[in-house]
Amino acid sequence: MKKQENKIIESVEMVLSQIPEHVILVAAAKTRTLEEVKVAVRAGVKNIGYNYVQEALPIINEIGSNVKWHMIGHLQTSKAKYVAESFDWVETIDSWHLAKYLDQRCQMFGKIMPVLIEINSGRESNKTGVLPGNVDALVEKVSQLKNLKLQGLMTMGARFGEPENSRPYFQLTRSIFDRIAGMNLPNVEMEYLSMGMSNSYPIAIEEGANIVRIGTRLFGERS
Ligand SMILES: *Cc1c(COP(=O)(O)O)cnc(C)c1O
């Protein structure tokens, strides 16, 4: 454990030293133990992302609000209540149905939730996220919700293969980001672009990402 601990600490410090100061590192913590996540926090991680609510809640209860909790997986409306209560960011708004539901739940907790819209930049039908052509309509509707605050976009890009393969998806998402920013909608503050994972974060940062979501590079391969 000690050896593995040192490895996580080294990796976190390495990534934090590589990325520009304005870029937020979200540690993608799926499948990691509470101990591993705690080590990452000790090493300087301030934002943690989870794909599944059930997996996150016990960890959030243990670690608490010294770090910010990001929902980075596909969110079902049936889980919106728990997310409204326990998370600080939702990066994966991909439908009006979900947005409306989450807004209601946030209202129950008297909370204004920063959200990102997830873009299906690869236009793959099996992927989650909003197709580029449908983004504007969703943005306009979400901007009217009182308990969600739209702050940017998130995208996955290509998970495997050459990191360069992700660049066009990042560029496309960036161009949508710039266009929405130019719309100057009330209650919308386009500030964050969440793109890039272990294999692609340097390219994502080149293309304008200021949130990167990294798992393997910090914690090692998932078994
Ligand atoms: C797992 C995951 C990541 C991180 O992936 P790695 O390749 O392990 O860095 C980033 N974003 C999302 C949405 C993920 O599910």
80-93 pLDDT tens trace: 999 999 999 999 99
The CA 102 to ligand 1 mean position distance, Å, reads: 23
Confidence class for position 127, pLDDT limits 50, 70, 90: confident
What type of residue is 89? W
Ligand 1 pocket test target in 24, 52, 55, 72 with most atoms within 8 Å of CB: 72
Compute the average pLDDT of residues 35-62: 98
Task: Report whether pLDDT(178) > 70.
Answer: yes
Beta bridge pairs of residue 223:
none
Spatial CA neighbour of 37 closest among 56, 52, 17: 56
The CA 214 to ligand 1 mean position distance, Å, reads: 6
Token pair recorded at residue 221 = 């391969």
Instruction: Using the atom order of ligand 1, give the atom closest to the CA of residue 198.
Output: 9
Task: Report whether pLDDT(14) > 80.
Answer: yes
Residues contacting ligand 1 via CB (< 6 Å): 28, 30, 51, 72-73, 197-198, 213-217
Token pair recorded at residue 124 = 């793959």
pLDDT score for 145: 98
Rg (alpha carbons) of the chain, rounded to whole number: 17
Token pair recorded at residue 44 = 């300087």
C-alpha distance from residue 188 to each of 151, 182, 192, 207 (Å): 6, 11, 11, 22
Task: Report whether pLDDT(125) > 80.
Answer: no
Compute the average pLDDT of residues 177-186: 95
Give the C-alpha separation, 44 to 61, whole Å. 19
The CA 45 to ligand 1 mean position distance, Å, reads: 15
Confidence class for position 190, pLDDT limits 50, 70, 90: very high
Task: Report whether pLDDT(96) > 80.
Answer: yes
pLDDT digits (tens, 9 = 90+) for 53-71: 999 999 999 999 999 999 9
Compute the average pLDDT of residues 215-219: 98
Compute the average pLDDT of residues 95-119: 98
44 Cβ contact list (under 8 Å, min separation 6):
12, 13, 16
Write down the pTM of the prediction. 0.97
pLDDT score for 157: 79
| pLDDT, averaged across the chain | 95
Task: Report whether pLDDT(161) > 70.
Answer: yes
Task: Report whether pLDDT(159) > 80.
Answer: no
Ligand 1 pocket test target in 19, 156, 211, 213 with most atoms within 8 Å of CB: 213
The CA 215 to ligand 1 mean position distance, Å, reads: 6
DSSP state of 127: S
Residue whose token pair is 């995208």? 155
The closest residue, in CA terms, to atom 11 on ligand 1 is: 213
Half-sphere exposure of 218 (CA within 13 A, CB side): 33
Alpha helices (runs of H) in the chain, residue ranges in sequence order: 2-18, 34-42, 53-63, 80-86, 96-108, 135-142, 167-182, 201-206, 216-219
Token pair recorded at residue 51 = 């794909």
Domains by residue range for the chain, with CATH: 2-219 (3.20.20.10)
Give the C-alpha separation, 91 to 38, whole Å. 22
Compute the average pLDDT of residues 4-15: 97
pLDDT score for 124: 72
Compute the average pLDDT of residues 180-187: 94
Half-sphere exposure of 64 (CA within 13 A, CB side): 1
CB < 8 Å & 24+ apart, contacts of 124-127? 127/156
Compute the average pLDDT of residues 189-194: 98
Confidence class for position 126, pLDDT limits 50, 70, 90: low
Q: Cα 149 vs. chain centroid, distance in angstroms?
A: 15
